[in-house]
Amino acid sequence: MKQAINYFALIILTLISCNTKTEKLNSMETTSDSLTFKRGYSEVNGLKMYYEIYGQGKPLFLIHGGGSTIQTSFEKIIPLLSKNRKVIAVELQAHGRTNDRKADLTFEQDADDIAKLLKNLNIAKADFFGFSNGGTTTLQIAIRHPEIVDKIILGSALAKRNGVPDWFWGFMSQAKLENMPEKLKEGYKKVAADKNGLQIMHDKDVNRMVNFRDITDEQIKSIKVPALIIIGDKDVILPEHAIELHRQIVNSELAIIPGGHGGYIGEITTVTPDFKENELVVPMIEKFLNKKQNE
């Protein structure tokens, strides 16, 4: 049990951007495993933010977890979600193909960066799905930029320090790069222009978590958009925390899925030889996104 707990702690760390013309100059069409998508960079608040766009339809933004890339968080669900949606996946400051800025990582800044990217891409409003650290960023998007949000999906999102077991914070204060899951290291090295940036990404993610401060009850209760809250029953996020979020976000639904941190979306560190695509929660996500708000 202790080994399993440590494993999920490593993943969570791991809990541990200018104008449209510039963006278009850096975009191109790419095909990967028969899936065609557009990729590019956009000037966002001092960053060259990397993004990928799949499919057609209403925009759905995917926001990855700490220590992660687009592929390590979402590779398994992008082909499924993009059948009926325009899926826009991004890499945040210091992660994957997006460069670092001389500033600490904050969830508030990540939210502002995403809002700027929407403006650059001429998207007025979208749905957002954030996993792990990306879920916390999605909360901040709904709080700071409600005008750009239709619906949010919070996958294993942390809003308060008591949302994880007490030991987690001691673990984070001693986190080292060598303890980061190998699949996340490999995922970063596979795509990053600067392979030496791995240590920077790790340290900034850890520092952000060590200094994590609660999102206030008032801020959480200010979220009025429809929300779907998802965690695993063996997640590092406590069920009580997800239930409290559900109670505080007035227009929300809650799903507790068998499995660990990110298993419900096929996050890379959770994929095993007996992985089955039909066990992912994509149908649940699509049902939530397609539901009319008065239903």
Which pLDDT score, from 0 to 100, does residue 19 have? 37
SS (H, E, C) 194-263: CCCHHHHHHHHHHHHHHCCCCCCHHHHHCCCCCEEEEEECCCCCCHHHHHHHHHHCCCEEEEEECCCCCH
Residue located via tokens 């766009």: 53
Q: Total domain count for the chain?
A: 1
Which pLDDT score, from 0 to 100, does residue 223 have? 98
| CA dist., res. 198 & res. 67, Å (int) | 9
Q: Could you tell me if residue 276 is inside a domain?
A: yes
Which pLDDT score, from 0 to 100, does residue 231 have? 98
What CATH number is given to the structural domain containing 145? 3.40.50.1820
pLDDT tens digits, the chain, 295 residues: what are they? Answer: 444 444 444 445 444 433 333 344 456 777 666 688 999 999 999 999 999 999 999 999 999 999 999 999 999 999 999 999 999 999 999 999 999 999 999 999 999 999 999 999 999 999 999 999 999 999 999 999 999 999 999 999 999 999 999 999 999 999 999 999 999 999 999 999 888 899 999 999 999 999 999 999 999 999 999 999 999 999 999 999 999 999 999 999 999 999 999 999 999 999 999 999 999 999 999 999 999 876 5
Q: What does the block give as tokens for 24?
A: 């278009």
Q: Could you tell me if residue 60 is inside a domain?
A: yes
For the chain, how far is it from start to end, CA to CA, in angstroms?
Answer: 41
Q: Could you tell me if residue 174 is inside a domain?
A: yes
Q: Could you tell me if residue 157 is inside a domain?
A: yes
Q: Could you tell me if residue 295 is inside a domain?
A: no
Give the domain extent around 68: 2-290
Which pLDDT score, from 0 to 100, does residue 295 have? 57
Q: Could you tell me if residue 277 is inside a domain?
A: yes
Sort 45 into a burial class: Cβ within 10 Å, 0-12 / 13-18 / 19+: middle
Which phi and psi (to 5°) does residue 70 adopt?
-55, -50
Q: Could you tell me if residue 140 is inside a domain?
A: yes
**Centroid of chain to Cα 172:** 19
Residue located via tokens 């687009």: 70
